[in-house]
Structure 1
């Protein structure tokens, strides 16, 4: 999937290999083609980040915490969105301006730190992907009645087929954009049907009745932490969108991606809140509990249950793609040979390993999905600390770009906040493994 990254110090667009560059007239289609390709890559990166951020784990976490906290969980959603802005605007800009993937850039700034970051992200991505495949199987089970393990197998094979395509990057871009739009529309329909108490939700978004740091850390980890932080930026590098000259379009894409993700998070929360506020009791503790499915069925009956199946499968399949692609994009720090078609094959192997573990352990319970989000929330401040160090003290890695101080300030505040939340939440998060 990866293509060579253009030299960030060059301001000329990469040549179109299909163009007959014999005169200025034939050069024009090449420019249009490059511009169109870059726009597609930006939109693809936007939706890859957005759909990766809203996987089956996040949906399960949202249903679980909304059932437990009610409208007060709106504050957790807001916190995740604000942290997302501070994280993604910095990470996307640093990676694309430098023209280097996260672990490579980290190693240049602090020798050895890139290897540690890569190990943690790949480990978190692998655990996440097991849950993603389980979620895909569960989604197909609800949607079609197909056995969950068979559904997980078919979903994983679908993801493998995407990476077998000759132009896998372009296929990934199209799949995540279409799937993301469908998921948003279906969730809005259920939110409209469930009729949530919007006034109370808006009030508690800024003035919550309770604040739970373990909950916020888990939801932040499930939608910002781990591989999700780097998904969009690494996709842009693979498409050749790197360099100081692309700062504005990269920042715009990051902002729009966070906006899309934020809207989707809040709409999903409202859909489930409407059910909880109506007095329906949602089981969040049983071994076979599926809080989100219960909420959607309570909101819209059989139709709601089928919609949940569709949303859950779409969220899962796009997250399988995002987790596998982004995790493998960290492997070149260990071996420079893992590029191009070799990277595609490594991505397929990553999916197959995740599938094998899923088939051996069975469907992941809701508790596992919540734990994985919390685990990635613990990884998040480690990566952020490295990148804030780069921003403040290693401007020489930015190819002459003068990094905005205001962006570093909000990034640093987000880093301190995620460290505080991680320390406060580490005990409760690992306690989930004993449930």
Structure 2
């Protein structure tokens, strides 16, 4: 990923971080400065906050929990910030990628982490293909299975073509802005009970740990935890001199995505509060947008859901496969490309042969990655507290370390109490 680029090509705009890497790390293009790279990361975090998994999970749990799910949204935002800020700082200070750093701290733990990320990434990718299929279903009326197959094959074509990847990067900006605008409009039209939602954000009538674990896993679990931090290394933001910049970027990114998550929740809440019953086994998010904004809303929603799904297929596959390098240094760029293609095909085959509905797959993917989140995070909390030698002798801010420790305990607790219920999602 560190190939040399001629100034001529760079000026012509023909070169960017290869499409899969760009999408996986949540940034747009190969920027010319570290500051621009971080701004790009923040922007893409905002647009990716409403990807296929989160959209479907939010629609599903809002339909079942109502305004009480506002508490789950709040908890997910807080945990997201704590996890991202800690991981970004730890990896930035160490200058090592996640698996290498874990192995240096605890022998063989990096291998275990890689296996978990790869398996979690595969589960995510099955769900992403399902999400892309749901998008084409809402947009064109295609069977989700057929739509998923078309999307997976197109994702492979995009991955293999750098030029197409650059176009995809730029298109995602347009799709992201469209989704943000559409979500805000639908939220206004839906007229949600804002007062009730605000009350239950801090005083919920019901707390569903399976729902919270799923929404946390869908937004920060698995490969997502490390993708942004690895991008920071690629942009040259390694070392203690960048810690303040890294922390500010994490805070700004999560703040923007948090607002978008809450607005999306309000859009769904307004629809369900008006008495509309969403079929959570079909495509509840599309139903909600259609109910609030008519057929044009459902078609536009399908377009952006498909775009988010297909970009997530590429991103999850590329980042998951990047963890395989810890097992073999012979896995060079060319070989990784073909392994990534196989990774996508395996996800497609699993999706086509499973009897589970696309919605259930998307919900389960978040829940599964929420279960494995505390395992890797525990390793990095150990490094932050006891292995300062791997961080150049520097320490993470004490307030962030303490919050990280609390988040570790909380994610372990949520994982334990919701374990069996999360696997029940597959039977939906």
1:25-424 to 2 correspondences below 5 Å: 36-47=32-43, 49-50=45-46, 53-166=49-162, 174-284=170-280, 286=281, 289-361=282-354, 364-424=357-417
Q: Which shifted more, 153-162 or 195-204?
A: 153-162
Q: Which shifted more, 63-72 or 353-362?
A: 353-362
What is the rounded CA distance, in whole Å, between the counterparts of 1:241 and 1:434 in structure 2? 44
Q: CA deviation at 1:53?
A: 4.8
SS in structure 2 at match of 1:402: coil
Q: 5+ unaligned residues in a row in structure 1: which ranges?
A: 5-14, 20-33
Given the superposition, is the C-alpha separation of residues 111 and 206 from structure 1 closer, same or farther in structure 2, using an over 3 Å criterion?
Answer: same
Q: CA deviation at 1:18?
A: 3.4
What is the rounded CA distance, in whole Å, between the counterparts of 1:382 and 1:41 in structure 2? 29
> How many residues of Structure 1 are paired with residues of Structure 2 in the alignment?
408
Q: CA deviation at 1:434?
A: 3.8
Given the superposition, is the C-alpha separation of residues 394 and 169 from structure 1 closer, same or farther in structure 2, using an over 3 Å criterion?
Answer: farther
Q: CA deviation at 1:166?
A: 4.2
Select the residue among 10, 18, 27 that pairs with 2:7: 18
What is the rounded CA distance, in whole Å, between the counterparts of 2:68 and 2:403 in structure 1? 25
Q: CA deviation at 1:43?
A: 3.6
Query: Paired residue for 2:18?
Result: none
Given the superposition, is the C-alpha separation of residues 293 and 406 from structure 1 closer, same or farther in structure 2, using an over 3 Å criterion?
Answer: same
Q: CA deviation at 1:175?
A: 4.9
What is the rounded CA distance, in whole Å, between the counterparts of 1:176 and 1:402 in structure 2? 37
What is the rounded CA distance, in whole Å, between the counterparts of 1:86 and 1:173 in structure 2? 28
Q: CA deviation at 1:55?
A: 2.7
What is the rounded CA distance, in whole Å, between the counterparts of 1:167 and 1:404 in structure 2? 42
Q: Normalised by the size of structure 1, how large is the TM-score? A: 0.86
Q: Which shifted more, 411-420 or 49-58?
A: 49-58
Q: CA deviation at 1:130?
A: 1.1
Given the superposition, is the C-alpha separation of residues 381 and 412 from structure 1 closer, same or farther in structure 2, using an over 3 Å criterion?
Answer: same
Q: Do the aligned partners of 2:176 and 2:304 also contact (CA within 8 Å) in 1?
A: no
What is the rounded CA distance, in whole Å, between the counterparts of 1:370 and 1:424 in structure 2? 17
Q: Do the aligned partners of 1:219 and 1:373 also contact (CA within 8 Å) in 2?
A: yes
Q: Do the aligned partners of 2:130 and 2:361 also contact (CA within 8 Å) in 1?
A: no
Q: CA deviation at 1:395?
A: 0.7
Deviations 1:145-197 (CA, angstroms, capped at 9, x unpaired): 34434432332234333332447986675454443333222211211211111
Query: Paired residue for 2:19?
Result: none
Q: CA deviation at 1:348?
A: 2.9
Structure showing greater Rg:
1
Given the superposition, is the C-alpha separation of residues 359 and 409 from structure 1 closer, same or farther in structure 2, using an over 3 Å criterion?
Answer: same
What is the rounded CA distance, in whole Å, between the counterparts of 1:192 and 1:203 in structure 2? 19
Q: Do the aligned partners of 2:187 and 2:270 also contact (CA within 8 Å) in 1?
A: yes
Given the superposition, is the C-alpha separation of residues 364 and 50 from structure 1 closer, same or farther in structure 2, using an over 3 Å criterion?
Answer: farther
Please list every run of at least 4 consecutive aligned residues from structure 1 whose deviation after the TM superposition is greater than 6 angstroms: 167-172
Q: Which shifted more, 40-49 or 138-147?
A: 40-49
- Alpha-carbon RMSD: 2.6
What is the rounded CA distance, in whole Å, between the counterparts of 1:214 and 1:404 in structure 2? 31
Q: 5+ unaligned residues in a row in structure 2: which ranges?
A: 9-29
Deviations 1:1-48 (CA, angstroms, capped at 9, x unpaired): x227xxxxxxxxxx98539xxxxxxxxxxxxxx973434432443355
Q: Do the aligned partners of 2:144 and 2:358 also contact (CA within 8 Å) in 1?
A: no
